[in-house]
Structure 1
Amino acid sequence: MLNFDPVHYIDVESGAAALAAPIRAAIGERLAAGATNIFFAGSGGVAFLALPAARLLQTSSTFPTFTEMGAELIVQGNVNLGAGSIVIAPSVSGTTKEAIATLEYAQSKGATVITLTGTAGTPLAEKADINLQNDCADDTSSENYLLQTLLIALSIMDARGEIADYDRIVAELSTLPELLVAAKEQFDPRAAELAQEMAEEQNHIITSAGGSWFEAAYYGMCILEEMQWIWTRPVHASDFFHGTLELVEEDTSVILLKGEGETRELTDRVEAFVPTVSKKLRIIDSKNFELAGISDDVRALISPIVFAAVLERLSAHLEVVRDHPLTTRRYYRRVSY
């Protein structure tokens, strides 16, 4: 596969899966000490990667769960943030200014900050109350953080007796790295075709629902916009028919991520409508990937992870056909703002 090292990839994602026990211990300790709520408070694109786990807790657990943009939390505050709070702060670099400021603000309120870092020896790793470390970079970070934060949510539900089969689910998750490589291999030819189709297109709508919606939003903002300078409109599938459908014309590109689980019917509606107008509906369906040994309930949980894995293949081909390296920036970390 183009610009892909499967051995390295499996090593990184296996490292994320191996954090299941440390995560369970850290979360269990905080809950035993009387933790009253959890905040997922990231900065930038990596913040999206924690939101499927937050959504899982909000829909399947009674443990109070909050999501915050770190910079906004600092200037606006939240009355629920305090000594009983667990704050989850993911970061690949461990040096993002907003993330460091969020960590310091949360600690000033008495919260326990758990950082998930992709780089050792960084401010976010060293300033944290608890640091969970797994080396990763942009091309492996999405799956890494989606998996780690899912393990955090599962640990909370397990400790509170809100899930009966934690061990079985985690055992299945431990097999994911190799399965994701297989999914990448399956999708790679289609990724190459899509990259050719999209090479000269400058406008897209990307949509999904459930936990997969956050991966759609992430891919639109952080990859197509930031890394390829392509105008992209992420919209939740449930909102597609509340405004965005008026933008659909014969040549409108709509990228639809169809995940699994209860919210799939929301993406079914988009799939039914768009072809009545546009000739450019691009569907990526997680059901099309075998994922041998993964139960249906776990497949629903990991749809965002599957999309992150296969969309990396699209990114790899896009940078080649567009002659635009994914690392090229005009402003980010290049100018003051």
Structure 2
Amino acid sequence: MDLPVMPPVRPMLAKAVHEVPRTPGLTFEPKWDGFRCIVFRDGDEVELGSRNDRPLTRYFPELVELLKEALPPRCVVDGEIVLVTSGGLDFERLQLRLHPAASRVKKLAAETPASFVAFDLLALGDRDLTPAPFRERRELLEGVLGADLARVHLTPLTEDPDVAQDWFTRFEGAGFDGVMAKPADLPYEQDKRTMWKVKHERTADCVVAGFRWHKDGAGVGSLLLGLFDDDAVLHHVGVASSFTAARRRELVGELAPLRENALAAHPWREWAEAHPDAGGRMPGGLSRWSPAKDLSWEPVRTEWVAEVRYEHVQGGRFRHGGRLVRFRPDREPASCTYAQLEQVPPAELAALFPEEPVR
């Protein structure tokens, strides 16, 4: 492979904001809920790179063939791999595609084929386009992408912030992760937060059921959270993290009394005693993206309630890690149920994804 922009490429990143910006000169796109992917094509060679330098090529063989048809012979394209279902984009099922066995990869490629959404062009032919303004890169991308193929798409684009606000509100339930905003004259700057992302934020009161140690071993890295269903079963719904070093140390002392006899009547006792590679949705299950990552956890008595800020829910869990707002001594753990979560109905995405959805 010999391209003017060679792998690995660190994708351009974004700063989080809480509302759609209305600065003149901005362009807006939907923020997709999938795997960020840089596609490198040089003739018959196609490589799918992730934002963390982990190759995705072997996991999505069906996309490799499609992209050979959709892209010009020599190019580098920034985009997102997504899984389109009848209920919207499904990130959890997309994660299942990251399987180590080749036979399983082949089976999943046929049963749950992925789609690719292109939104930037980094190189074309012998030209490095990263210094060019986004406006020019987008025009070139529109001219060379074969987006009439099933499961290969050009992301929608608007300069109207009111349209962007409509996308932000109307398409959330279908798997949109928010809205991206970028200046039309912006060059492609690898690994720099020069764009903006607008994401949904809500709060929920959750049961604190355990914690994981920080990687430095000196403090709490994340709190394990639970919510009760209609049958009073406590489900693991995600974590709250991103503590300062000082707060990590404080939490060790605050949680210490709750660690005493924590397993005696803990609703996740079987999970805590399971072998760490048991898998599933238990707190100690393996990470599909980082199998070597230590996900062992420390149980605490389920007596505390935490108010947590989250973005959205998918498959009964917080799609991204939550952030602790405060502890709620005024709330009873039994009151922390799924009923408090705001569920957004899926919007119709057929106009954007006309392919047959995965069922």
TM-score by length of 1: 0.23
Instruction: Give the structure with higher Rg (CA).
Output: 2
TM-score by length of 2: 0.22
Higher strand share: 2
